[in-house]
Structures are given as structure tokens and as C-alpha cells.
Chain A
């Protein structure tokens, strides 16, 4: 597998693969059986139709087997979700404020900008708040999102970036006119780069570029 930007990516992709694999088998099974029956029992062949009213055994099988399958899907989905929701005591906390149609990231030392900078390898916790209507912070490359709700409610989003780089942040909850333009970036910096960026009084364009170009 390719190295993934966070460990969540592999988890989500493998749950996806598991469900899709079972689904494709079921879909093909249903479709092929149906088409086979239409040819095999075609009226042109002149079979006498047989009234078969049902079968307790078959009903039991096609309730029991799917039950086991969906419960396994539920289980893997829930395990993956727990992993995403894992809070960490030494998480690096960043306050996020969303408004129509921009993002604002605020760090403990007062740094405040519209692009999210994070250090690689450290658990990150975003505390999300909206200043007007509902938004949703979505990082497709990390397979995570969390709604940003208007009012006092603070939602949290956790991730641990594992690859230096720059990734899209989108707004996923419809928020009006420029909803589709509410993009920004999350820039994952190496620990040293992040430390020097974090300590610098003004944003060093060098570091920013290092992050974006990767």
C-alpha cells in the first residue's frame, strides 16, 4: 500500500473495500440469477410454471446470512469510527472558527490565519465553532469531516498527520452563495519546520512554500 497521510485513511479504505466486496458479490449473484431464470424459464420454452409458495429454510438462510454480514460491517465501521474519535491527552489543540465563506485557525500562542498548519506525527484536535450558519470541515485526503454548528456547541475533530504535505479542506454542509468556494488547505510540516513556523513572529513564506510544494 502507498503511505497514507493519516492512519485513518487505511482504516476507512479497508472498511470500504470490505463492504464493497461483499456488495459486488451479492449484486452479481442477484443479477446473474435473475437473468439466468429469465432465459431458463422463458415462456417460449413452454415450461409448465410451478407454484412454489416459499421455503422456511430459504427465508431463514437469507435472513441469517445477511444479518451476520451486516453485523460484521457494522462492527468494522464502528471500530474504525472509535479510532477516529480517539482523544489524546497530548493532542495539539487548534481553535477553528467558520463563517460564510472562510475558515479561521487560531493557535494557543495567538497565531491566527486562514490556512491550517500542523506538525507531522502529533495528534491534532480541532475545536470547531461557527460564527453564523452550519458548516462542515472536510479533509477528503484524511477521510474525515465534522459539522461546524452555529451557536454555543463546540464539535471536535481528531487526526494525526503522518505525511508532510498539503491537502484540501472543503466545506461539506451547504452554507449559501459561495459554499463551493470555501476551500482552504491543511499544511503538514515536519516537526522542525513547524516549530520554526510556530515560533516565528510573522509567517515565513519559505516555510509555507516548503509545505505546499512538499
Chain B
């Protein structure tokens, strides 16, 4: 095993790159998975901020009935962009591209991913896709106003710039596919000696399951987008009824990708949770195999539930019944994970540092998201709640309360490893508490409004919703403040923060066996794995851990 003490004199990956170039080019041309992870962090983080600002603008418009700050056309463009940016540019690439890139090779005891150049190419494809989205905003026709689902025939009839925007999604898909391919190969071929599949950390398992979805499901949206462009440009009738096409076919194809895509969004987050809880409870994970296999189960069953987005589209009643049943089945492996996580706290030695606090926030919010998913999976209730604020609340609890919360938890957990610096623990805890309050103020009223019959994607609303809308808008301001605190804390730590200890939390997975930040090829000696991933008895032998 590498040990931290000998590493002090070594150069970190900041000081030594894969190319001889210095400065910005040394980053833009780097094939080091850690630098690429940080490039993604910069890009993904910037788009997240844009998405948050758009969200706050939407909430401001909805503070009172009638016009507040923008016209309906602007509002339609703003909610569409909020969705497109958050989904395609933040939450799908978020955890796998940032933390997967940085930590998958480290946790496997590898020098890099299997295809480092392909990895850099994936980042460039992501950036090209993002630039195309931005260009589509300023071209004649105006910004996309279809919602992130681009439902036909509206997306054919609107004057807005649909073709370029969906082509951007097509390009972004390739970034996702190539990253998935890279990770699958890395997991199969690059594990350190002694690391069998069932000795891999659970973040690796989750990223691995995600990678399969990325590779298998993403081409479907790619093909669908090509068909839409073919239809728009050459007038071939596929989806547009005016040309003899079938708009429902579009919905099927869209959700055959986009439902598995929600597991691309949540599975890596679940993997991070399985890392953080054992470290701060300082004991092995409860039900390792159950958690690992449940990731695969989610990835597999997740393919078979897409039509629950279409219960009121005119699906046959039999199809609706089958898809409802399968939807309930896919809830089970997520439940298994939550029970095992809580059981991992049993008889541990729990030190609730910020990453752990953020995970607790996650368990609460994600449970609400998951349980309200049962309400939507059930046919009788879904007919009422489909396309209402209830759905909006549900997926924000799952996606933002789930993946978003864990994005921050992962940042707080791995920050000392990535940057070698420590942020303010106090402010990270304050941010977690504020986040909890802001989140529930912002999104819980939407459950109630949804059940009262408030449809989603509404510029204006009936007076009976005014009070709850106001609470939600106030929540969005609190959320904005929370985000400022988080970013300020992390950026301040980067510039002026104290140097972190090598292994501040007492982690034992392989990334903690090298120095912080790691050297160019991660390990001075490739480790041989003799322990289970969460065997904390090794902590005594690890020289880089000083107990406090």
C-alpha cells in the first residue's frame, strides 16, 4: 500500500501534467482524469449557477398572479432553458463526469481511465454541445419554448429554434455514451491486483451500472432526435400528424431514453452515499452485495417503466396496468438501499461532519421524493396528478433533493482530496441547515398545489394558489442565499483555506491511500488490495491518518 508520509515531497497533479505545456493549455490538453474531472466541475458548476438563476427568475414571475417581471413567451423560454440546462448540462453529467472521472480510477487503484484521450474528447463534445445550446438562444426564432421534453407537434409548430437546440442534445449524448464506454472498460480492465468485483467500492458499482445505461439508452434519444430533424428539414412524416406521423410514437421513444436517464442522474449519487456513510460511521457497509446488486436491478428494471409518463396519453388500459406494476417494482431496490444505509449507522462510531450531515438531508428529501413516486406510479392518483405541480415537486425532491444534495455532499467529502485544502466546517453545516429549510419551503407547497389541481408550466394561475406560490418563491430566495454560502465557502477555501490533512475523515477506500491532492498517476506504487473496501481496521496501518 502506498503511504502518505513518503508522498509529501512528490509533485501533485496540479504541479505535473500529462503534457509539457504550462498554464491553461496544460489543462485544456490534459488527458489526466483528475484534471478532466476538474474541467467538468468548472463547466458543470457554471451551468448549474445559470440554471439556479433561471429558476429564481421563474419563481419571481410566479410570486403573484398575473404579470410580474416577464411576458408569457419569455417565461416559456425560461422554464424550458431551466430544464434543458439542469438536465442535460448539470445533472446527467454532474456526478459521473466530475466525481466519476476523478475518483473511479483512484478507487480502483488505476493510473487513469482506460481511454484517457477519449475522455478528454468527451469533455470537448460536452462543451461543443453546451455552446450549441447557447447559440440556439440568439439565432432568429428565439430561444426554445417547448419544455425540455420537446413534445411533438408543438415542437414542430413553434417558431422557436428547435432544430439546433435538440441537435445540441444529440451532441451531448455522445459525450455521455463515450464516458460510459470509458468507465465500463476501466472497471473491467483496470482494477488493482486483488480487487475482485465484490471488493470494489460501491461508488464504483453505481457508476458502473450508470455507465451501462448511458451506453445502451442514450443512442435511442440520439436516433429520435435525428428523426425529428429529418422530419423538420426534409418533411418526412414520422411524428408530426400533419405529415402522417404519430405524436405518441415520439413520446414512447423520448421516454425510453429519458426514464432510464433519471437513473443515470440518481445512481451515481446513491454510490456516493454508500461511500460517505461508512467513512463517518467508521464501520463496514451493511449489506454490501444487496446495495451493489440493487444498482444493477435499478439499471435493468429502469428500462421497463417508461410509459408511466404516458398514463393519460391514450395508452391502452392494459398497458397502463403493466407499466404501473413495473413502476412499483422499480421502487423496491431504492428502498433496499435506504434501509441498508440506515442500518450502516447501527453500532457505528458516528462523527457527523458536513458530508454526513448532507447525506442525512439527502435521506430525508430523497425518501419523500421516492415515496411520492409511489403516488404517481399508482394509476388512480396519477390520472389526477399527471402534469401538475405534484410531479414538479416529486422530481425536484428526487433530482435536486437527491442528486443535487449529494453533489454537494460529494464536494464536501472529497474536497480535501481534490484540492488539498479544507473549507469551513461551520459554514458547511449552516449551509446544510439552511438548505433543508429553503428546499422544503420551495418545493413542499408544490405537492399541495398539485393536489389542488395546479397544472405545471403555467405562466399565470388562479387566485387560490397565491399563498402557496408566495411561500415557494420565498423559499427560492433562501435557496439562492444557501447557494451563495456554499460557493463562497468552497471558493474561499481554495484561495485562502488552510491546508487539509492527508486523510481528514479517516477514509479507507483506495483514494485515501495516496497523497492529497494525488500525484499525476495517482499512486507511487500500484496498491495490492487485501481488504474489503470498508474495512476500517486498516486505518491503524495507514500512515496518512492522524486521529484527532
Contact = CB atoms under 8 A, between A and B. Distances in A.
Contacts of B329: 70
Main secondary structure of the interface of B (DSSP, over half): helix
A67 B451 CA distance: 26
B283 A136 contact: no
Interface string B347-358: 111111000000
A109 interface: no
A172 B371 contact: no
A171 B378 contact: no
Nearest to B157: A133
A90 interface: no
Contact of B380 (A27, A54, A77): A77
Interface residues of B, number: 85
B76 A53 contact: no
B335 A168 contact: no
Contact of A59 (B151, B245, B287): B287
A37 interface: yes
B379 A81 contact: yes
Interface stretch (B49-57, B200-208, B317-325, B473-481): B317-325
Interface in B138-167: 145-147, 151, 153-154, 157-158
Contacts of A59: 287, 290, 336, 340
B383 A16 contact: no
Contact of B378 (A76, A153, A179): A76
A34 interface: yes
Nearest to A64: B332
Contacts of B313: 147, 149, 155
B284 A84 contact: no
Contact of B336 (A55, A63, A146): A63
B21 interface: no
Interface residues of A, number: 80
A30 B342 contact: yes
A212 to B, nearest CB: 16
B157 A132 contact: yes
Interface stretch (A40-48, A114-122, A189-197, A199-207): A40-48
A172 B287 CA distance: 43
B145 A176 contact: yes
A41 B350 contact: yes
B286 interface: yes
Given A43-B350, A77-B324, A149-B314, A172 B368 contact: no
A18 B351 CA distance: 37
A67 B330 CA distance: 10
Contacts of B76: 174, 176-177, 179
Nearest to A175: B154
B342 A34 contact: yes
Interface in A168-188: 168, 170-181, 183
A174 B154 contact: yes
Given A62-B336, A174-B457, A53 B157 contact: no
A77 B282 CA distance: 43
B317 A58 contact: no
A146 B310 CA distance: 10
Given A41-B345, A177-B76, A180-B460, A54 B388 contact: no
Given A33-B342, A38-B345, A73 B328 contact: yes
B25 interface: no
Contacts, number: 256
B375 interface: yes
B339 A80 contact: no
Contacts of A172: 386-388, 455-456
A54 B346 contact: no
Contacts of A149: 247-248, 313-314
A110 interface: no
A53 B320 CA distance: 40
| Most chain B C-beta atoms within 10 Å of own C-beta, residue among A34, A146, A175 | A34
Given A78-B324, A134-B153, A181 B317 contact: no
Interface string A134-145: 101010110111
B247 A134 contact: yes
Interface stretch (B2-10, B177-185, B225-233, B359-367): B359-367
A55 B145 CA distance: 51
B517 interface: no
B459 interface: yes
A125 B166 CA distance: 38
Contacts of B386: 145, 172
Contacts of A63: 332, 335-336
B246 interface: yes
A54 B147 contact: no
A11 interface: yes
A49 B506 CA distance: 14
A14 to B, nearest CB: 9
B324 A74 contact: yes
A180 B65 CA distance: 11
B328 A34 contact: no
B494 interface: no
Contact of B282 (A43, A173, A175, A178): A43
Q: Which 7 A-B pairs have the closest CB atoms?
A: A140-B453, A151-B241, A80-B380, A77-B378, A81-B379, A23-B371, A180-B458
14 contacts: A15-B378, A26-B367, A30-B363, A41-B350, A52-B343, A53-B286, A53-B287, A54-B286, A74-B378, A133-B153, A144-B383, A149-B248, A170-B455, A175-B154
Interface of A: 11-12, 15-16, 19-20, 23, 26-27, 30-31, 33-35, 37-38, 41-43, 47-55, 58-59, 62-63, 66-67, 70-71, 73-74, 76-85, 132-134, 136, 138, 140-141, 143-147, 149-153, 155, 168, 170-181, 183
Given A37-B350, A145-B383, A176-B158, 6 more contacts: A12-B381, A51-B283, A132-B153, A147-B312, A177-B76, A179-B459
